[in-house]
Homo-oligomer: A and B are copies of this chain.
Amino acid sequence: MKSYQIPFDRFLSIRAEVLKTWPTGEGLTLEDGLAYQRTLPPAKNFARAMATASREGRILLQPRAGVALIPDHIKLLQYLETEGEADLLPTTIDAYTRQNRYQEAANGIQKSLEARASLLNGFPAVNHGVAGCRQVVESVRSPIQVRHGTPDARLLAEITLAAGFTSFEGGGISYNIPYAKKVPLAKSIEDWKYVDRLVGWYEEQGIPINREPFGPLTGTLVPPFISHAVAIIEGVLALRQGVRSLTLGYGQGGNLIQDVAAMVTLKELAHEYFAREGFTDYELTTVFHQWMGGFPEDEAKAFAVICWGSTVAVFARADKIIAKSPHEAMGIPTKEANAQGLRASRQVINMLRDQKFAGGADFERETDLIRREVRCLLDKVYELGHGDLEAGTIAAFAAGVLDVPFAPAACNHGKILPMRDHEGYIRVFNRGQLPLSAEILDFHRSRLEERAKAEKREVCFQMVTDDIYAVSKGRLVGRPR
């Protein structure tokens, strides 16, 4: 088996450069991070928590949360742990840090101090440095994950892992395409190999660190097969660098059967492709994201969206749920609103966990469809890369063979248009350059025609817009008024 792993000496020389990019990186040693990680109790290890819960069939709940200042961030996480009954904690990073704009983040910290409120949309972990981050880790009982959206997250990973965070979200595709405008894909993939190599190093030293590619991408009408293809590729890239604990994600689409089919096939296909790449020694779990698109403003309606997400997650036997809050449409939630989203989700999980999902013919059809769709894409990616997944991926994005709807990145083709069918399944309206078989495309088209007929209009772009707004306006399918 060919090794794609970054050689350790090369890793170290990149590392020296990375640490220079902001003062808090200076003097950071791998050994210090490792020593600190070794002091943490197993209960604070994210990878262990995921593995144990998955084995026991428990569904873990995790919010998103991050504010500018350390004491406030600690209070927030403690509240989510106690009042929110969260199983796993996040530290969501602010958007300046995500773009490596540490000077702007510093400005945001300053302004937040003056305003006595967070003016940043997340926790600027790089600016707070290892010591600041360790304060956070030491103030809570649960494992903490870094959640962000950073094309170049090398320094962020160095600092947070050394500080005792034990899970790191993202990937070279999923943290570029939806989150950046001008970052070349080859660059972000390269930088994320570094992150995965760092995680792999901790694994080698006996410290399991969980890695979670960002499943939902733009969160907006992403057909499951597209996010699956990306998740599987990022999984392979991570495994190649020595990652062992992998959580693949999927963002709720809205139709129960499609979503359950997606969650089931995600795990199944990932195992299949990981095996094909020669990997056997890893721990694979799944995460289901409650509805990632536009939310209704009304909090009661937002609760309905949150609860429906949890319902689907339970039927899909997700290992983890990322919960939204009733404030979603309006702004970063207060700790109270955030905890409300968690408690509503908890109630759903506990009421449904003993119940079975029925399956049935439509479910079989959808699992079969997703399998075939993903194979269409990944076969072509391998072909474009002459057998190599990484090269193939870069070529595939350039050619529109992989294409994420509504994404801002210049390196994304941006031609495909998704649309809901009559029952709310997400299908493909404009395929762009997606290499789906004629048979599959016919199926999608016929499903869309069925909807158009019922709505007495042609299949048209307006339906895409209507679908984008639909959930926030109180339905799933964007019917004409």
Contacts and interface: CB of A to CB of B under 8 A. Distances in A.
A397 B301 CA distance: 43
Interface string A341-352: 111111110111
Contacts of A167: none
Interface string A442-481: 0000000000000000000000000000010011110000
Contact of A351 (B308, B339, B345): B308
B362 A358 contact: yes
A355 B304 contact: no
Instruction: Give the most central of A301, A340, A359: most B CB within 10 Å.
Output: A301
Instruction: Give the most central of A304, A341, A423, A476: most B CB within 10 Å.
Output: A304
Instruction: Give the most central of A303, A310, A341, A355: most B CB within 10 Å.
Output: A303
Interface string A414-426: 0000000011100
Given A358-B358, A358-B362, A474-B347, A352 B308 contact: yes
Interface string A1-40: 0000000000000000000000000000000000000000
Interface stretch (A122-130, A232-240, A253-261): A253-261
A351 B296 CA distance: 12
Contacts of A351: 254, 304-305, 308, 424, 471, 475-476
A300 interface: yes
Nearest to A476: B351
A273 to B, nearest CB: 28
A343 B301 contact: yes
A356 interface: yes
Contacts of A360: 358-360
A169 to B, nearest CB: 25
Chain A's interface size range is 35 or more
Contact of A358 (B304, B346, B359, B422): B359
Interface string A39-62: 000000000000000000000000
Contacts of A310: 304
Contacts of A474: 346-347, 350
Contacts of A359: 358, 360
A140 B447 CA distance: 42
A311 interface: yes
Given A308-B311, A350-B476, A351-B476, A300 B358 contact: no
Contacts of A257: 355-356, 358
B422 A354 contact: yes
Interface in A315-347: 339-347
Nearest to A254: B351
Interface in A93-111: none
B311 A347 contact: no
10 contacts: A257-B355, A300-B344, A301-B347, A304-B307, A308-B311, A308-B352, A311-B311, A350-B474, A350-B475, A359-B360
Interface of A: 254-257, 296, 298-301, 303-305, 307-308, 310-311, 339-348, 350-352, 354-360, 362-363, 422-424, 471, 474-477
Given A304-B348, A307-B307, A308-B351, 18 more contacts: A257-B356, A300-B341, A300-B343, A303-B303, A303-B304, A304-B345, A304-B346, A304-B347, A304-B351, A307-B311, A307-B348, A346-B474, A351-B424, A351-B475, A354-B422, A354-B423, A357-B358, A358-B358
Q: 6 closest Cβ contacts across the A-B interface?
A: A304-B347, A358-B360, A307-B307, A300-B340, A303-B303, A350-B475
